[in-house]
Chains A and B, each alone.
Chain A
């Protein structure tokens, strides 16, 4: 027996078919009802009726969309709804084999045309179509379009009115858009710039770079979406603007890649920078390149081992006289005039630079020594032409140094330095000359440079030593003081004369260091003698001071040295040459007064060899005059006039005297007779080392000073501090 459930499933076949048919009908009914009342889609069924297509059915949404009553829709011919498909074109939409989708204007009940997407689906049999209609302008789409339009308008306004020239490409180099600012920049109408027209405004030499950069941006996408190119744009009037074009990648979905280009006109900025660079590298008075540009110019052209460069160094003779007598304005006028002459005289491509003050340098390329000298002569002639300044006619002249590059030149600056040396040689040989620096002169100059470096080291390492020469009183014949004398024993060159190294120190800025060394060492030695000898130590040491040290710092340096070694100021006497004092007597007087106030004595060295004004001498705060050795030497020839006069002058001014270079006992006797206060010379005592001096003074104290043998020194000594 079958279970009850199985029995219930046994249904007769006819009854089952009928039931399935009923279910299908129910489903169709449900679908149809759903379609009929759907508010999502407007649907119509179209079929031929009486020779024309008619709407045989429509749903509620169709009625709502088009505004017709259902009966009205059925009554009118379908082609009346689609005015754009007149003249039999309805068949383009109502195809038998395929579904057709078209965007068409559909006439509404109000007569207005509503743009719709119409999809016509043919029913089997090919005589009936189901049409789906959807307005292309439903609310959401309208809102989206309005937003998109607003964005578009904002963007358009932004670019149109932007003062920044802007390009917009949507395909390769072809522009879809340029703004007014770009049109104004190049002076061309937009129509002529669109497409590839804008490329004709790019300078031909710069176009490749622009395309290169734009291509990189087009290819690069997000990874390398930006780039820039510097390019000149040629305006319609032929003038050029220098710009930087910055590219950004622009991707439009469904369209492809393009770029946005913004242009910065940097013409003014570059001009300003060029002006600044010009100002930095040129002399404002003459407009000539200055020293900086000269160095760059030579460095850029200097190839070691090559022999193509030549330098001509000019220094105007007596320019200071023009400045002092006619005024600085006249001096400037002269410099401008001579700069013009120089420029007009040199060859094209030669550089004329103002090196400083009244110095000019000409740099030539591809010229030998003969050519450089010929040019220097032409320049000399050009400069000598008369020039009228302030009603005075001048004939300017210059000392000229010429250097041609040789294999020995290893750096550009050596070339300029050498022609500077040549110019000094020319000046030293007499003004208005031309000197070519030959290899001997160059070797001498380099040797001098080496010596300066070695002197600097010697001072730093305190390798400059001092000798001390006793000074005797004529009153009792005892040694009362010493004079400090600097010595340099070079490890390779041997003893170097002070006549060599003192001027060298003055030229190369080392004299201050040298002076301080001598001052400090003298004080140290005095203090040591005090410790060793007690009352037998020299009462005073004379230290020579260079004219270059005669400034406001001298007082401080002297006071500091005395303090450092615990000495009284009366233990020092500062010796200055009369020429040093006469350079700036007022200032010298001030410095000397400060030293006197400190308690230090002041002596005038080599008195009578310079051009002292006796009136100044009277006012200078000095204690002692040193009679120059040349006058003392004349005593042996029976000429005592000058020595006698100097001693008498000192006495009348209340000053003491030291006679230098006393070589013989007869001279010593004669000087004593003439009234000299003190004597100094090899016949009395030669310069001694600090230790020997200690021994010498100890012996003298013991009463044996006069027995000290004479130590002849073949080199006349030059005194310094």
Chain B
């Protein structure tokens, strides 16, 4: 999927000199995060289990008031259509689903909710990406809930890189607007793309393989498993970047979406994105 041109642009000379980037340290930081937000870490760990229950998750959530508040707010947001009927934390967990709770815990765990430590339009892109993935999921025989969470967390690696090289990454982010271009620039600068870093982190936290695999296959144009996320990136780019050079949607989506269908998807994503972002972050 990555165009050769993007690869060639990756090592642009305008970028500041890469710092001594210690991938080992970044990876180790993923572990250390758990000790700083133990409740979130516990939820990230527990929610994956088939034995997970709304009762148990809500009990855990009760120990992290800020996180519990966000789950309640999200459950009552227009996004879930419950019109304020969610009055208990346990029901809130039921409504948003375990994977979403886990995703929110991951967001908290990795400081993704602190926008001051992220590239400028990080969440605008992430919510668009998530909603595009969720909206399109049925076309790709994927579960919308999982697709939403994957979209929300896909840029976790961006945050990790930004945390470790704020100035350098901000410049890269501003310079390379296309997702493919960014990935190439990231590999050039850090030896690993942010998306790959996300995959490693999610794998480390035992997120299901079904969520991790698309992250590793997104750049393989022949891979159907990466097609949903690839398409979601294209949709998000069309929504968030005025200067985005559109890539034909049929090829990006492995033939699952036609250009004439895109407009409705854009409308829907645009409507829900702000709502979702507010519910997740405020």
Q: Which residues of A contact B (CB under 8 A)?
A: 84, 87-89, 91-92, 95-98, 100-103, 136, 170-174, 176-177, 190-192, 194-197, 199, 208, 211-212, 215, 218-219, 253-257
Contacts and interface: CB of A to CB of B under 8 A. Distances in A.
Contacts of A170: 97, 143-145
Contacts of B86: 172
B213 A208 contact: no
Interface residues of B, number: 53
Given A96-B24, A254-B98, A215 B85 contact: yes
B114 to A, nearest CB: 25
B97 A255 contact: yes
Interface stretch (B87-95, B165-173, B239-247): B87-95
A96 B265 CA distance: 45
Interface in B111-150: 134-135, 137-138, 143-145
A88 B78 CA distance: 44
Contacts of B81: 172-174, 196, 199, 211
Interface in B69-102: 75, 78-83, 85-86, 91, 93-100
B230 to A, nearest CB: 16
B80 A172 contact: yes
A212 B86 CA distance: 11
A136 B31 contact: no
Contacts of A208: 83
Contacts of A172: 75, 80-82, 86, 94-96
Nearest to B142: A176
Interface of B: 23-24, 27-28, 31, 47-52, 54, 75, 78-83, 85-86, 91, 93-100, 134-135, 137-138, 143-145, 187, 191-192, 196, 200, 203-204, 209, 212-213, 216, 261, 264-265, 268, 272
A301 B27 CA distance: 79
Nearest to B49: A254
Contact of A212 (B24, B85, B93): B85
B212 A98 contact: no
A101 B203 contact: yes
Given A191-B264, A255-B97, A92 B48 contact: no
A257 B93 CA distance: 9
Given A92-B200, A170-B143, A177-B138, A191 B49 contact: no
A92 B24 CA distance: 8
Given A92-B192, A176-B143, A191 B265 contact: yes
Contacts of A190: 138
Given A199-B81, A254-B50, A219 B94 contact: yes
A177 B141 CA distance: 10
Contacts of B143: 170, 176, 255
Given A87-B191, A95-B27, A255 B144 contact: no
A191 B80 contact: no
A48 to B, nearest CB: 15
20 contacts: A88-B192, A89-B196, A92-B192, A92-B196, A97-B24, A101-B203, A103-B209, A136-B209, A170-B144, A171-B144, A172-B82, A172-B94, A174-B79, A176-B138, A195-B144, A211-B82, A218-B94, A254-B47, A256-B99, A257-B54
Contacts of B75: 172
B198 to A, nearest CB: 12
Contacts of A194: 135, 138, 144
Please list the 4 inter-chain residue pairs (A to B) with the smallest Cβ-Cβ separation, ordered nearest first.
Answer: A173-B81, A172-B95, A256-B97, A172-B80
B281 to A, nearest CB: 19
Contacts of A255: 97-99, 143, 145
Contacts of B31: 98
B41 to A, nearest CB: 15
Contacts of B261: 191
Contact of A197 (B85, B187, B268): B268
A222 B78 CA distance: 27
Residue from the set A84, A171, A192, A211 with the largest chain B CB neighbour count within 10 Å: A171
A84 B145 contact: no
B191 A171 contact: no
Contacts of B94: 172, 218-219, 256-257
Given A190-B138, A253-B50, A173 B82 contact: yes
Contacts of B82: 172-173, 211, 215
A102 B212 CA distance: 10
Nearest to B217: A84
Given A171-B145, A172-B80, A89 B192 contact: yes
B199 to A, nearest CB: 9
A171 B135 contact: no
A84 B213 CA distance: 11
B83 A211 contact: yes
Contacts of A100: 203-204
Contacts of A176: 137-138, 143-145
B23 A91 contact: yes
A254 B52 contact: yes
A97 B32 CA distance: 13
Nearest to B94: A257
Contacts of A89: 191-192, 196
Nearest to A101: B203
Nearest to A178: B138
B24 to A, nearest CB: 7
A368 B189 CA distance: 94
A98 B24 CA distance: 11
A68 B27 CA distance: 32
Contacts of A199: 81
Nearest to B101: A256
Nearest to A97: B28
A103 B80 contact: no
Contacts of A215: 82, 85
Residue from the set B48, B137, B200, B272 with the largest chain A CB neighbour count within 10 Å: B200
Contacts of B144: 170-171, 174, 176, 194-195
Contacts of A102: 200, 203
Contacts of B91: 218-219
B98 A211 contact: no
Contacts of B196: 89, 92
